[in-house]
Structure 1
Amino acid sequence: MHVITKNGGHGVGTGVVVGKDLVATNCHILANANGVNITKFGDSYVPVSLKADWKHDLCILRFQYVDLIPVELGDSENLKYEQAMFSIGFPGGPPKPLTTFGKIKALYPLDDSQVVRTSASFVMGASGSPVFDSDGKLIAISTFKSPGQGAYYYNIPVKWVKALLAAPESTETTSLKTTESPFWDALDENRPYFMRVVLPYQNSKWDDLNTIAQAWVKAESRSAEAHYYLGVAQDKLGKTEQAKQTFAQTLQLHPQHPATLFALGLIAQREDNQQELNRLKMAMKEVNNDVLTEFNQALNPTVETTVNNGVSSSVQAK
């Protein structure tokens, strides 16, 4: 996907065919652009209209005579942590697509669905890339990432694609102009809590993390992620027993929450509780062998392993 920016520059992105002559992508790729087109075997096609969900950073472009086979839409509401996935995109605008493989690392409830964090990386030009499950069904669209090394990759759910597809044709427009920003580009106090824990978590400001996580738990008492971050803050502040109780609440909400099992395992190791450590290792293995492998590496002092549940100090569109 090629875009002429409002300043006359050239931008690139990726799209996925979700219906006859319909291509879904991220709105931030084309917002306020002077033009956009897609290419198929060297031929260029200009959209005739689009539907836009600017808040959720999702746009569906309508073309004529593109004649591409749509992907099969999957389900983003029953995904599991550590579930295998893969993504296909055009990072950097190469002539051939790049396929990356990974796993689902976290799920963040937002509005009527959930933002999906995966371990599959993407860079400039890969915004709008389709994310598939192991059956090849579309489950999400790559949207934004955290900066720097050890970045985390966030994807908007296919449920929002289905909703926009079902929106009436009267909502279609030919304008790329907007004054709206996507949810992830809002002021910090207006961002979802899973983004607001970023700065204190990355910078080891545990009192700040504790304050935000408490507010998160109060606002979303059924969120396993909220309880997880509160437990992390409590543990880092030396409130180990309180942290263990909070982590127990996380596991009540999500019995196989990998990061929580990991955190409790580190506490058990620290307390030299071998029986609890063995139990938690078995629980990690039941989730995925890779989780247990990463944990064992973390226990090895000769191996430097950074454990993060998927936050960073800021986000970048890609």
Structure 2
Amino acid sequence: MPKFTPRFILLAALLAFAQNALAIDQQKVLSALQTVVMVRGYNDTGGLSYGSGVVVGENKVMTNCHIFRSTKQPWVARGEDSYDIVSVQADRWHDLCLVSTINLPFKPATIIKNHDLKRGQEIISIGHSNGAPSPLTSAGIINSSYTFEGGRVIRSSAAFRMGASGSGIFDTEGNLLGINTFKTPGRHAYFYSLPIEWLADLEKLPVETTFPIKGKAFWEEDDDKKPFFMQIALPEINQDWPKLAKIAQSWIDIDPKNSDAWYELGNAQENMQKIDEAKIAYKKSVALDASNTDSLFRLGAIAQSAGDKVVVHDINVAIANINKDLAQEYSHMLGCETEC
């Protein structure tokens, strides 16, 4: 149909861009693209509120609750077609809403339970950034994922903008991993997606038929009440190392077996030139999670500065066993001609 042409053009552009970087299944990613819809509604001033959503079942669309705060009659849209929203199941704290429509003709996204998220894993964000009528795509990798209240919140490098709230983050085979929800401010933003595992609890909530949907989400808390994986973001971006060290230590005091907390402490200490302390923190991080390539990278860099070629090589082997592409990045970072 002619009105679907732009989506195919956008996907073709993505595939051309990502051909050398991503090992994608083109047909499955195309199917994923067709599960993403717009969510719209008029606010009290007559303006149009908009976001994105992902079809996750028959007549069911998963999106963010915060896009319903100023509209009484929202609907789902694709192109010139619209579908009334008749009810919603709302988890306000986790900022996830499951809306029900009538006669929605789109197939749901593919969801794999207990998906094994890996650092450096290639992903694709698909949503209506800036209210674009056709979904836009953004390729990236998983920077990290954080255990939080029964799921793993994903931080990735796949950028999304206003209008993409409620959109999907997919792996390169088109499987839905999470719902794009919030980001840090500024040019060097961190992008966060909520875990698809929360859908199971969302489906058990009471059905509501009244909009708007009000209520604060966890990521909107005051800074000192946010989860630690959010508290560390701005100090890290702003290179405020003493503050990062303080937050990381508080994180460790509460959760001493958290590999990410130890990495963040090492990161702060290394940048404050406390190299010995940083090595201890990074090693603790790796001991808790052998796949923490962030800590492995930094241990390799410290070893190279000390002239310890054996450790540099051993770390290269360890990273290669996790992800060969990351091992190449590690070698490139350290200036090795082929591999360290």
TM-score by length of 1: 0.86
More helix per residue: 2
Asked if 2 retains the 8 angstrom alpha-carbon contact of 1:139 and 1:157, the reply is yes
Deviations 1:234-271 (A, max 9, x none): 22233322221211111112112121111112211222
Query: For the aligned residues, what is the CA RMSD?
Result: 2.0
CA distance in 1, matches of 2:226, 2:196: 21
Asked if 2 retains the 8 angstrom alpha-carbon contact of 1:76 and 1:157, the reply is no
Structure 1 segment 103-118 matched on structure 2, within 5 A: 103-118=141-156
Match of 1:223 in 2: 258
Deviations 1:192-224 (A, max 9, x none): 001111233233332222221111012112211
Match of 1:49 in 2: 87
Match of 1:139 in 2: 177
Deviations 1:5-41 (A, max 9, x none): 3443222211111111111101111223233111245
Deviations 1:163-202 (A, max 9, x none): 212x15xx11122334421111110011000111123323
Asked whether 1:266 is paired with 2:301, we answer yes
**How far apart are 1:295 and its partner, in Å?**
3.6
Amino acid corresponding to residue 242 of structure 2 in structure 1: D
Match of 2:133 in 1: 95
Report the 3-state secondary structure (helix = DSSP H, G, I; strand = E; otherwise coil) of the residue aligned with 1:35.
Answer: coil
Match of 1:62 in 2: 100
- Find 1:181's aligned residue among 207, 216, 219: 216
**How far apart are 1:78 and its partner, in Å?**
2.6
**How far apart are 1:68 and its partner, in Å?**
2.1
Q: Which moved more, 1:95-104 or 1:228-237?
A: 95-104
- Find 2:240's aligned residue among 184, 196, 205: 205
Q: 1:39 to 1:179 in 2, by over 3 A?
A: closer
Structure 1 segment 279-294 matched on structure 2, within 5 A: 279-294=314-329
Q: 1:86 to 1:294 in 2, by over 3 A?
A: same
Asked whether 1:16 is paired with 2:51, we answer no
Asked whether 1:160 is paired with 2:195, we answer no
Q: Which moved more, 1:147-156 or 1:12-21?
A: 147-156
**How far apart are 1:158 and its partner, in Å?**
0.6
Match of 2:310 in 1: 275
Asked if 1 retains the 8 angstrom alpha-carbon contact of 2:92 and 2:214, the reply is no
CA distance in 2, matches of 1:8, 1:271: 64
Match of 2:64 in 1: 26
Asked if 2 retains the 8 angstrom alpha-carbon contact of 1:12 and 1:29, the reply is yes
CA distance in 2, matches of 1:71, 1:187: 34
CA distance in 2, matches of 1:73, 1:104: 18
Q: 1:7 to 1:282 in 2, by over 3 A?
A: farther
Match of 2:24 in 1: none
Identity %: 35
TM-score by length of 2: 0.81
**How far apart are 1:279 and its partner, in Å?**
2.0
Asked if 2 retains the 8 angstrom alpha-carbon contact of 1:2 and 1:37, the reply is yes
Q: 1:117 to 1:200 in 2, by over 3 A?
A: closer
Report the 3-state secondary structure (helix = DSSP H, G, I; strand = E; otherwise coil) of the residue aligned with 1:38.
Answer: strand
Match of 1:191 in 2: 226
CA distance in 1, matches of 2:202, 2:310: 51
Match of 2:22 in 1: none
Asked if 1 retains the 8 angstrom alpha-carbon contact of 2:123 and 2:172, the reply is yes
- Find 1:237's aligned residue among 266, 272, 275: 272
Match of 2:76 in 1: 38
CA distance in 2, matches of 1:76, 1:101: 22
Amino acid corresponding to residue 137 of structure 2 in structure 1: T
**How far apart are 1:286 and its partner, in Å?**
3.0
Q: 1:231 to 1:6 in 2, by over 3 A?
A: farther
Provide the aligned length of Structure 1 versus Structure 2. Answer: 297
**How far apart are 1:296 and its partner, in Å?**
4.4
**How far apart are 1:125 and its partner, in Å?**
1.4
Asked if 1 retains the 8 angstrom alpha-carbon contact of 2:55 and 2:62, the reply is yes
